[in-house]
Structure 1
Amino acid sequence: MTAQVTPMMAQFLEIKAQHRDALLFYRMGDFYEMFFDDAVAAAEALDIALTKRGKHLGEDIPMCGVPVHSAEGYFLTLIRKGFRVAVCEQMEDPAEAKKRGSKAVVHRAVVRLVTPGTLTEDTLLEARRHNYLVAYADIRGESSLAWTDISTGAFHVMPCPLVRLAPELARLAPREILVADGMSNDTVSLIEETGAAITPLSPSSFDSGSAERRIQSLFQVKSIESFGSFTRSDLAAMGAIIDYLEITQKGKLPLLRAPSRTLAQRMMQIDAATRRNLELTTSINGGRAGSLLATIDRTLTAGGARLLEHRLSSPSTQIPIVTERLDAVSACVADSALSETLRDTLRKVPDMDRALSRLGLDRGGPRDLAAIRNGLAQAAHLHETLRNQDLPKVLSDSVNALSGHDDLLNLLEAALIAEPPLLARDGGFIAPGYDADLDDTRQLRDEGKGIIGKMQAEFIATTGIQSLKIKHNNVLGYFIETTATHAQKMLSPPLSETFIHRQTTANQVRFTTVELSEIETKILNAGNRALEIEKTLFQSLKQAVLTRNEQVGAAAAALAEIDLTAALAHLARSENWVRAQIDDSRDFVVASGRHPVVERALQKEGEPFIANDCTLTAEGDKAALTLLTGPNMAGKSTYLRQNALIAILAQMGSFVPATSAKIGLVSQVFSRVGASDDLARGRSTFMVEMVETAAILNQADERALVILDEIGRGTATYDGLSIAWATLEHLHEVNRCRALFATHYHEMTSLADRMDGVKNATVAVREWEGEVIFLHEVRPGAADRSYGVQVAKLAGLPASVVARAHDVLDALEKGEREGGERQKALIDDLPLFSATPAPAPQSVKPSPVADRLKDIHPDMLTPKEALDLIYELKSLEKD
C-alpha cells in the first residue's frame, strides 16, 4: 500500500523540482535537512550519517542534515567537490503557520543558490585572492569575456577571440564560467581545461538587447554610454553575468562597480603554459607556496594582496602607467620612514570590499559595519599623514580618495561598540548613549534581573524556605521552584493564597504569583523590544553605508593601492632590488640578474645565488637571440626563467632583482621550459612540447620575449636537432623577437656565425679529479661537452652503470670521428654490460700540503705563525 505524501514532503518535492541541478538544503528548525538522492549524495560528500524519515511510494526516504549555525563549512566542502547548493529557508514563524490550521506547513522558499563563482562569506573565500565569475559570449563570430568578483564588486569586459580565450582564462583563474547552451564542443573542451565549474545558461541569458536593459536597471541609468562603448558581444557577456546573479541571489543583486572595458593590447600577453612554467601565482604542485607571488608578497591587507595578484597576472604594456607605478614605489624606497609609517597603519585595515559586498547582499552583520568603520578610521589617519606630502601621481590620487568620509565615520563610531557580535540577531552591538529609546528599554531589561533577585529574597523571607529559587525556561517563563518537601508548606494556607501551583516534577514543585507574572511580562517585552530596536538601527546604519558604497569602495581601492606600493618598496629595500628603465626600444639588458624564488630558497640554506647578466639588443626589426649551451644541473633553466620574471616584474610596476636593468617594452612572454605527459588528452611529452612550441612560433611578435629550453629532446637525436634548428631559424627570420634558447645540440652553435643577432653563451663548469663542479656563471662562448655521465653519477646511479656509460660514450665519440661504419664496429666490439661494478678509481695520494693542513688550528695561530705557515706550505707545494 502506497503511503500518502505528507504536506511537508509535498512542499519539499515541489521546491526540489525547481532546482534539480542543486542539493536542496531544506530548513527545518535549527537544521538544514536533505532528502532522497540529495541526502545520499550529501552524506557521502560530507561524510555524515545517512538516516531515513518516513516512506514515499512505499520506499524509505533517505535523509541527512547539518546544523544551520555551521552550514557554511559544509557549503565549502560541497562546492569544492563540484556541487551547487540551493538554500531553502523558513519564510515565516511556525506560530504563524499554526494559525492556518494544525496541518499547515511553514512557508519556505529558496533564498540563494551557492555556486563557486557567487561566494561572499569570509569562511568560504581565500582572503588574498579574487573569486571570479566569468561569462563567455560569441555573437556572429564576435566574442567577448566578462568577469566579476561579487565579493569585491569588480566588473570587467574585454573583446576575446577564441584564440585568446585560454590565455585570458589562465590569467583570471575563474571559479565558475558561464556559457550558452549549444556552444561548440571544441570551445567547451577548451574551457574545461581550466578546471573551473562550467554552468550552461539558455541563449536568452546572452541576448544583447535584454542585456542592455539589465545593465541599465542594475546601475539605474537611462543609457550605458557613460560607461563607454560596448560591442554586442560585450553586452551579451555582461548581461549573462547579471542574469545569473539575479537567478542565484534571488533578486538581491550585489554592489557591482560600473563595468570597465579592458583591451588585451594594454596587458602583457602570457599564455597558460608560460604561467605554469614560470610559476607566477601557483607553483608546479598547484599550491601558492614556491610561486613568484608568494615570494614577493609583502602586502598587509587583503585588498592589497588581491591587487598584487592582479598586477602580477596582468603586467601593463602602457609605458606611462608603468612609469607612474614605479615613481610611487621609488618615493617609498627613498623615504623608508614614510613607508614604514604607512605599513604600521595598513596593518589595522580590515577587508572593506568584502564587508561592503555582504552588506549589499543582506548577508552582513555588525562586524561588517565595524570593518567599514575601522577601515575609514585608518583611511582618515593616512590622509592626515600624507595630505601635505609631495607625492607621485599614484599616491596622491589614492590619498585624495581617503578623505570625505567624516560623516559616515562619525555615525558608525557613535553607533557601534568596539567589538560587535557576528550576527545582528545576537544584539548588544549598539553603543550606550546612541539611541535614548534603546537605553531606556535596556535599563528596564537589565534592572528587571535585579528585581527578580529582590523578589526571590522577599519570597524566602515570607516562606522561610532558604532553598527557594526563581528560575526561567522557554516553556514556563519565570517560575518559583522548591523541593517537594518544602512545597507542602506553600500548598497550604495561608501561603497557598499567594503562591499558585504550576507544575510538579520528580523532585521539584513549581509556583508563580500574580506579581511575578506581571514583572515577567515587562522584562520579556523589554528584552524583545531592545532586540527589535537594535535590528532597526542595524538596517538604518547599513543603509547609510550602502548610500555611500561608491565612495567607500573608492577608499578601499585607494588603501589597496597604497598597501601594494609600500609592499613593493619594502621588498625592494629588503632584497636589494633596483628600478628598471622601461622604454619603447627592443633592448633587454640586465646586469647581475637573479631568480627571486631560487634566491630565497638558497638564502634559507645559507647559500649565495650566482647572479648573471643578460643582453638582448635588437636593432631595427632584427631579432636578438642567445643560444645557451652547457651541462644539465648547471642552471640554464633558472637563467631563462629569471629573465622572463624580470620583464614581468618590471612591467607590473615592481623593482627587479638585478644591479641594473633596461627593458624595452615586452608585449608577450612565451616560455617552453620542461614538459610532462597529458595522458587525459592522449598527448605524449613530445607532443605537448611541440604544441607549446607551435603556439609560440604562430603568435610571437617582434616585441615578444621567448625562452625555450631543450626543444626537440623528446624524440630521436637527428629529428630533435632538425626541429630545434628550424625553430631557431623561424624565431630569427619570421618572429624577429628577443629570445633565449637553451639546447644540448652543440651543432647549433655554428648558427651564431651565420645569423646576425644570434650569439652563443654557455654556463661554466670545472672538472676536478673526475668530478664536475657547477659554477652557475653564464659566459660568452659555447660548451664543449654535456657532462651527462658526471651528472648521472651525482644523481646516485650505480658505479657499474656510470662506468658502462663512460665506455659507450667513448666508443660513440671515437666512432663519430672515424665515420659511421667504424662507429658501428666499435659499438659491436663493446663487451656486454656486467653487473659487477667497475674497479673503483685509485684514490689520489694526499699531498704534503693537505697532510700539513690537517694539524692546523687557525684560531690558535698568531699573525707571525700564520705568515710562516704560508711560506712552509709554499715550499711543500713545490716539493
Structure 2
Amino acid sequence: MDGLKPNHSLNLDINAQRNFMKFYAKLGEKPPTTVRFFDRTEYYSIHGVDDTDLVSRIFYKTTAHIQTMSPDGDESDKLPYLTLSKNHFENVIRDLLLVKNYRVEVYTKKANSSDWKIEFRGSPGNLIQFEDLLFANKEVLVGNTIISLQIRMEGAQKKIGLVSVEQNDCLFLVTEFVDDDFFTELEATVVLLGPKECLLPKIDGEYAAIKTLMERNGVMVSQSKKYSGDKSDLIQDLNKLLRFAKGQQEDASTFTEIHMELAMDSLRAAINYLSLVSDPGNLGHYELKTLNLNRYVHLDAAAVSALNILPKPGTQISSPSFRWQSILGVLDQCRTAQGHRLMAQWVKQPLRSKEVLNDRHDVVQCLTESPTAMSSIHEDYLKRIPDILMLTKKLMRKKASIQDLFRIYQVILRAPRLISTLLALENNTVTNVICEPMKSTLGDLAGLKQMVEQVVDLEIVENGEYMVKASFDENLAEMKEKMDKLLEKMNKLLTKASQDLEIDKGQFVKLESVSHLGYHFRIALKDDSVLRKSKSYKVLDVIRGGVRFTSDKLTAYSQAFGEIREQYEEEQKSIVEEVIKVAKGYSAPLTSLNNQIAQLDCLVSFAVAAHNAPTPYVRPKMLDEGSGELTLKDVRHPCLELQENVTFISNDVEFKKDDCNMFIITGPNMGGKSTYIRSVGTAVLMAHVGSFVPCSQATISMVDSILGRVGASDNIIKGLSTFMVEMIETSGIIRTATEKSLVIIDELGRGTSTYEGCGIAWSIAEHLAKETKCFTLFATHFHEITNLAETCSTVRNCHMAALADDENFTLLFQVRAGVMQKSFGIQVARLANFPDSVVKMAQNVYHEFEDENVQKRTQKDEELINKIETAIDNLSSGNNVDINEGDLTKLVEQFKKDIQELDSEYFKAVLSTASD
C-alpha cells in the first residue's frame, strides 16, 4: 500500500473552497468513531484532522498523502483532506465497518447545487445501506447482529430486557432476566450473541456501566432516539415484518413474547434505529423467538480470551497459516459462507443439551469412519454451493437477476446427489437429522425448480449467458432468430479466418465474446507472426491466453448482435420481474435449505478437523450434568499441535465427585502450566459444541459454565491495572460458578504484595474446593497454597516436571503428582540468554533474601517461644491465685496471639480444636 497515491486532487476554486469549509464547520463536532465521506462523483473526499489521519493510515499506511485546503492562505484557517477512488473507497468502508467497528456517513449533493446531505449511514450493526457495496462480489463470512436493551430496577435487583436483531437470518431474539451489580449474565449474553453494536436509551447511570462492559467486549455503543409511539404501533410494525406460518393468525399480539414489556421496548428501539419497516425487502420475512439462555453453557469474556476461542479482529482464519491461532480457526474447515457464519456462532454457543450433542457426535463419527464420503462431500459438493442466504435476500429486495435464480436452481439440482451420498452411509442419525429435513425442503422447492426450467434458457448458460427462453414470448423468439443468424455468419467468418491464416479452426482459432470487445477471434501467442502478415485482420490486444483480433465484417456482425441482445434484455425485463416476484415466495424454504447446508458444512468440518489432526481426535463420552466426572487421557492443545516443528507432550486429568475436584499445579515458568489447563478447558468446550476432542480417551460430565482467568494484563485504555483486571474476572468466577462448572485459574494474585496475593489466591482456591466444589485447575507460583491439600481431601497437588543442575535446565512439560519443591525463575532467565553477570547477581540476591528471611524467622520464633514459656510459667505459678478473671482472659488471649504468630500448623490445629 505504501506505493499507492491518491488519484485525484480537489480542484476547487477559492469560492468553492470557502463555501465547503463553511458547510463543514456547520456540521459541528462528531463522535470520534464516526467517519464522514463526501461523494464527488468520480471519487470521494475525507476531511478533518482525525478522519484523514485514520483513513490514510488504514489504506495508505502513511499520512504523506494528506493535502490541505486553505483558500485565503491563512495557516490558522485550513482544512486537511484526502481523496479516494471508488475502488479504494469500497475497501476502506469494508475495513471501517467490518473490522475496526466505526460508523460511516456518506454525503452527496445534487448537480448544480451546493447543498450537501447525508445519503447513506452505516454502523457495524447496521449495514443495510451498504450491503450491495460490501457483499456484492464477496462472501459474507461475519454475522451482522445488533442488540438493544433497557434496564428497570425491581427493588434491589436489575431487570434487563434485551433483543437481538440478526439481520442476515431475519430473526428477532428476545429475553428478560435479572442481573447483579456486575452485569454477569449480560456479559455472558453478549459473548453468546457476538453483537457488533448495542443500542442504549441513554449513556448515564447504570447505562454508563453497561457502555463500559460493551466496549470491553469490542461492541460499539449507540444511543437510540426517544420514541413516542405506544404498544399498538409496535404491533403494527411486527405485523408487517413477521413471517406467519400457513393458517396462523397474522397478528403479532398473539405471540407470548409480546408480554415481555421491557424486551418489547428494546425491540421497538431497534426496529426504528434500523428503519426495518421502510425497506420492502424486510416485510414478511422476520421471525420472533425467545432466547433461552439456559440452553447454552455460560461463557464470560475472560474464558473466551483465556481459551483463544476467537481469532484476533481482521485475522483471515481461512488461511492455513492462521488456523492454529484460535479454536475457531482449528475447527472451521467449512466450504460455504453459511457454514463459516454458523461455525462462528457454534463455538460461542456451547450447548447444554446432551441429546443434540450426541446427534452431532454421531454424525461426526459416521463421517470420520467413512473418509471417502467425507472427502467427497467436503471437496466436491459443499465447495460448489453458493451463499443461499445472500441470494435469498436479493430475491426479497427484488434485486436478484436470472443468474442469481440459476445459482439457486443449481443447488436444488445438486442437493439430491448430496442426499444420496449421505443416505449411502446407512446411519440413522445422519438420515434423521440431515437427509429427511433436506428432502422435505427440496419438496417445498419443487415449484421453483420447475419454473426455472420453464423460463431460463439453460442451453446458453454454459456460455455464461443468462436469458429468458425465446419460446416464452413472440418478440423474444423473433430477436433470438436474428441473433442465431448473426452467430451463424460469425461462425462462417471463423472458418474463413482459419483458412486465411492456415490454422486449424476450433483448436487454434476460436470465436469468443467478452463484454468490452464483443465477438472476436483468438489465436495462440505462437501464431502471432502469421496474423501480423495478414492485412485483412486487426489485432485488438495481446493477453496471456493468446492474441485477440477481428475483421471489419466480424465487427459489424458483433455490433448488430450486441444491439439486438440489448433489445432482448430490455424486452425480457418484465418477465424477469414477474419470475423474481414468484421466486420471492419461496424465501422460507430457501432459508431452511440454507440453514441445513450450513449445519451439514459445520459437522463435516468437525469431521475433517478430527481426521486431519496430527493425532486424530476422539469422540467424547458425554455424561449428564452433575455426574461429577471429568477424565481426559493424553489431552493436547489443538492450536499448539498444529504449529510447525512442535511435538506436543500430552497429559491426563481425572476428576471425580467427592474424590478429587481440584488440581493445584506448580512448576517453573514456561513449564507448561498454562497450556495444560487451557488444554483441558478447550477440550471441554469442543465437546460441548459437537466436535471430537484432542485426547486418546474422554469422559465429560456436561457443565453449565466454563470460567477462566488466564494471562491478565494492563488495560490502559480503560484505566485498569493487571491486578484490577484479575480481581474483576475472578469475582465473576466466584459469583457464577456452581458444582457443575469448570474453572481454570492461572497465576492469580500477581500485581500486589506477595503475602496479599497469596492470601487472596488461597481464599479463592479454598472457596472453590470446599464451597463450590466445581472442577478446578489452579496453576500458581505460591507454593504455600499446596498446603490446602492437607485440609481438603478433594484437592490434589501436581507439578510440571523439570530437571536442573548447576549447568543444565530441561523442561519436561509432563504433569506429575506432588508439589514442585523449587522455583526455577533464575534458570528460565538463563534460558532467555540473560548476561551471566545478571544471572549471578540474581542468584546472590536470592540467597541473601532467603538467608535473611530464615534468620528473621528463627529470631522471631525464639522470641515468641520465650514469651510463650513465660506465659505458661505465669499461668501455672501459684503466685497468681488472686489474679482476677479479666486479667486472666487478657493473658490467655495474648497467649493465643503469640502462638498464632509462631505460624505453627500444629499449634493452629490445637487452637482450632480448642475453639470448637
* Aligned with 2:799 (options 732, 743, 762): 762
Determine helix, strand or coil for the equivalent of 1:702: coil
AA in 2 matched with 1:127: V
1:210 maps to which residue?
Answer: 233
Match of 1:408 in 2: 448
Q: How many residues align?
A: 728
Using a 3 Å threshold, how does the CA distance of structure 1 residues 673 and 242 change in structure 2: closer, same or farther? same
Structure 1 stretch displaced more, 130-139 or 737-746 = 130-139
Contact 1:212 1:239 in 2 (8 A): no
Q: Which residue of 2 aligns with 1:348?
A: 384
Which of the residues 117, 123, 137 maps onto 1:115?
123
How far residue 297 of structure 1 moved from its aligned partner, in angstroms, is 1.8
**Partners in 2 of 1:308 and 1:176 — Cα distance?**
20
Identify the match of residue 267 of structure 1 among 273, 296, 304: 296
Matched, 1:440 2:478: yes
Residues 287, 340 of structure 1: CA spacing in aligned structure 2 closer, same or farther, 3 A cutoff?
Answer: closer
Distance 2:631 2:376 in 1: 35
Root mean square deviation of aligned Cα: 4.4
**Which residue of structure 2 aligns with residue 312 of structure 1?**
347
How far apart are the structure 2 equivalents of 1:568 and 1:753?
43
Percent identity reads 24
How many Å apart are 1:174 and its aligned residue?
2.2
Note if 1:151 corresponds to 2:168: yes
- 1:76 and 2:80 equivalent? no
TM-fit CA distance, 1:646: 0.8
State the SS of the aligned residue for 1:259.
strand
The CA deviation at 1:52 is 8.4
Q: 1:815 to 1:13 in 2, by over 3 A?
A: closer
> Residue 550 of structure 1 corresponds to which residue in structure 2?
588
SS of the residue aligned with 1:677?
Answer: coil
Q: Using the alignment, how far apart are the partners of 2:81 and 2:367 within structure 1? A: 60
Is 2:818 aligned against 1:781? yes
Change (3 A) 1:633 1:363: same
SS at match of 1:770: coil
Tell me which moved more, 201-210 or 41-50.
41-50
Are the aligned partners of 1:31 and 1:65 in contact in 2 as well (CA < 8 Å)? no
C-alpha separation between the residues in 2 aligned to 1:304 and 1:580?
23
Q: Given that residues 254 and 357 in structure 1 are in contact (C-alpha distance below 8 angstroms), is that contact kept between their aligned partners in structure 2?
A: no
In structure 2, the CA distance between the partners of 1:697 and 1:254, relative to structure 1 (3 Å rule), is: same
Task: Report the Cα offset of residue 264 of structure 1.
Answer: 1.4
Deviations 1:793-837 (A, max 9, x none): 00111111112222233344444445437799xxxxxxxxxxxxx
Are 2:269 and 1:229 aligned? no
Instruction: Provide, for residues 655-708 of structure 1, a one-character-per-residue CA deviation record: whole Å limited to 9, x for no partner.
Output: 111111111111111111112111223222122112211221122112111111
**Structure 1 residues 205 and 363: alpha-carbon distance in aligned structure 2, compared to 1, 3 A threshold:** farther
1:441-480 equivalence runs, <5 A: 441=479, 443-444=481-482
Match of 2:601 in 1: 563
Shift of 1:742: 0.9
User: Which range is displaced more, 37-46 or 237-246?
Assistant: 37-46
Counterpart among 846, 849, 856 of residue 809 in structure 1:
846
Change in CA separation of 1:395 and 1:823 when aligned onto 2, cut-off 3 Å: farther
**Pairs within 5 Å for 1:190-589:** 190-204=213-227, 209-219=232-242, 222-224=250-252, 228-230=256-258, 231-246=260-275, 252-253=281-282, 256-283=285-312, 288=317, 289=322, 290-343=325-378, 344-387=380-423, 389-392=426-429, 393-404=432-443, 405-412=445-452, 415-416=455-456, 429-430=466-467, 433=470, 435-436=472-473, 437-441=475-479, 443-444=481-482, 526=564, 528-575=566-613, 576-584=616-624, 585-589=627-631
The CA distance in 2 between the partners of 1:785 and 1:195, in whole Å, is: 41
TM-score by length of 2: 0.70
Distance 1:78-1:367 versus aligned 2 partners, 3 A rule: farther
Equivalent position amino acid for 1:796 in 2: N
Secondary structure class of the residue paired with 1:733: helix
Deviation of 1:419 after TM superposition, in Å, equals 12
Specify which of 141, 158, 181 is matched with residue 128 of structure 1.
141
Q: Which amino acid aligns with 1:694?
A: S
1:540-592 per-residue CA deviation (whole Å, 9 max, x = no partner) reads 33223311001001011111111111121222222211111111212111111
**SS in structure 1 at match of 2:257:** coil
Moved more, 42-51 or 134-143: 42-51
CA contact (8 A) 1:416 1:429 kept: yes
The separation in 1 between residues aligned to 2:595 and 2:813, in whole angstroms, is 43
Distance 1:385 1:677, change over 3 A: same
Query: Do structure 1's residue 792 and structure 2's residue 829 form an aligned pair?
Result: yes
Amino acid at match of 1:378: R
Gaps of 5+ in 1: 95-102, 422-426, 455-518, 825-879
Other-structure match for 1:178: 199
**What corresponds to 1:471 in structure 2?**
none
Contact 2:419 2:435 (8 Å CA) reproduced: no
Q: Is the 8 A contact 1:282 1:293 kept in 2?
A: yes
Q: Does residue 1:639 correspond to 2:676, yes or no?
A: yes
Within-5 A mapping of 1:53-68: none
Q: 1:356 Cα shift?
A: 1.6
1:697 matched to which residue of 2?
734
The CA distance in 2 between the partners of 1:787 and 1:61, in whole Å, is 59
Structure 1 residues 53 and 795 mapped into 2: Cα distance closer, same or farther (>3 Å)?
Answer: closer
Cα distance in 1 for residues equivalent to 2:739 and 2:389 = 40
> Does the residue aligned with 1:557 lie in a helix, a strand or coil?
helix
| Cα 1:118/1:804, change in 2 over 3 Å | same
**Is structure 2 residue 641 aligned with structure 1 residue 593?**
no
1:37 CA displacement = 7.4
SS in 1 for 2:781: coil
Pick which of 234-243 and 265-274 moved more.
Answer: 234-243
1:613 aligned to which of 623, 644, 652: 652
Q: Cα gap change, 1:799/1:114 in structure 2, threshold over 3 Å: closer, same or farther?
A: same
TM-score (norm 1): 0.73
- Kindly provide the amino acid, as one letter, of the partner of residue 146 in structure 1: V
Match of 1:168 in 2: 189
Q: 1:683: which partner in 2? A: 720
CA distance in 1, matches of 2:277, 2:85: 22
User: By how many angstroms is 1:748 displaced?
Assistant: 1.7
Deviation at 1:25, TM superposition (A): 6.8
Equivalent residue number for residue 138 of structure 1: 151
8 Å contact kept, 2:385–2:411: yes
Distance 1:256 1:817, change over 3 A: farther
Distance 2:103 2:364 in 1: 44
Give the gaps of 5 or more residues in structure 2.
1-12, 245-249, 493-556, 862-916
Residues 450 and 43 from structure 1, CA distance in 2 versus in 1: closer, same or farther, beyond 3 angstroms?
farther
C-alpha offsets along residues 388-420 of structure 1, whole Å, 9 cap, x if unaligned? Answer: 744303224543355222332343356557899
SS at match of 1:550: helix
For the 8 Å contact 2:632–2:697, the answer to whether it is kept is yes
What is the CA-CA distance between 1:775 and the residue it aligns to? 1.2
